[in-house]
A and B are shown apart, each in its own frame.
Chain A
Amino acid sequence: MAIFMGNKVAVVAGTTTITSFVSTVSLNREVEAVTITAMNDTIQNMIGGVEISNVTLELFNDFAAGSVNSIFEDAIGTKLNLKFIPVSGTVSATNPSYTMSCLITNWTPINGSTGGEAATASVTFPVTALTKSTSA
């Protein structure tokens, strides 16, 4: 694989592919930096702690049955599986999938303005489990 455009990411929420309603998607993997600096250290020392990743989505809302709004609004306060594939299609070693369990901490069912923009929701969810796969 080579450099690739980021406009073909596949997004699955639960069992529903919602790719065509997503304009921006990102998975930010991060671990806590745990300080273990001792008395005789001359520079701070750290080790990696637990992972504190999160996902961010910009979505166009849709109130149709089983579509974007019901998927996220019905899941508020619970965990929802999200799956991202860098380039929609076959998962492989050069196109791995990321499957996450995310706590749905917020949702924006109504987001209107007089500017006439399409109704969107911009959300960030904490990741509570993450699996990277090269085969599914």
Chain B
Amino acid sequence: MVPSTVRTNLKTALQAITGLRVMDYVPDSTNVPTNNAYAVVGQLSMNYDYTLNRGFDFATCNIIVMVGRMSEKDGQARLDGLLSSSGSTSIKRAIEADVTLGGALQTLRVVSASPGTITSASIDYLSYQYAVELIG
């Protein structure tokens, strides 16, 4: 598993969602697109030696998705679409469309999504944190 390739390919997979602005690094500041969302592919937590003799490793990756200010009703509605397990705006569906990420992995699974807030420039943004398990 090459972390940079995995992160790049996760970014590409997420960009299948129309209008979703995706970054594979943590930006200095946020600029949530109007009427859409913003995703950051986080760093990988690595567990080496999942199989023998440096065969495969196991990693988890957190993906943070922000949609807008806490008070914004439309933002909450957009999160519902991203949170769905199916449909064109589904984060899980977009990532699991190719579980090998173009051959970068053996397999992956989007395990969970937890709600929360991200504070940037004193503004609270609605967010979800996705946990993705990676084997490769």
Give A contacts to B, CB under 8 Å. Answer: 7-11, 19-23, 25, 60, 88, 116, 118
Contacts and interface: CB of A to CB of B under 8 A. Distances in A.
Contact of B55 (A19, A116, A118): A19
Contacts of B53: 7-10, 19-20, 88
A118 B51 contact: no
B109 A25 contact: no
Contacts of B51: 19-23, 60
Tier of interface size on chain B = 10 to 19
Contact of A23 (B50, B54, B111): B50
Which residue, of B49, B55, B107, B135, has the highest number of chain A Cβ atoms within 10 A?
A: B55
Contacts of B133: 116
14 contacts: A9-B52, A9-B53, A11-B52, A19-B53, A20-B52, A20-B53, A20-B55, A21-B55, A22-B52, A22-B55, A88-B52, A88-B53, A116-B133, A118-B106
Given A7-B52, A11-B52, A19-B52, 16 more contacts: A9-B53, A10-B52, A20-B51, A20-B53, A20-B55, A21-B55, A22-B52, A22-B55, A23-B50, A23-B51, A25-B52, A60-B51, A60-B56, A60-B106, A88-B53, A118-B106
Interface of B (DSSP majority class): loop
A116 B111 contact: yes
B16 to A, nearest CB: 22
Nearest to B48: A7
Contacts of A88: 52-53
A7 B111 CA distance: 27
A22 B51 CA distance: 5
A118 B56 CA distance: 12
A118 B135 contact: yes
A30 B131 CA distance: 45
Which residue, of B49, B51, B56, has the highest number of chain A Cβ atoms within 10 A?
A: B51
Contacts of A11: 52
Contacts of A25: 52
A15 B52 CA distance: 18
Nearest to A59: B51
Given A20-B55, A21-B55, A7 B49 contact: yes
A7 B55 CA distance: 10
Contacts of B56: 20, 60
Contacts of A22: 51-52, 55
A11 to B, nearest CB: 7
Interface in B70-118: 106-107, 109, 111
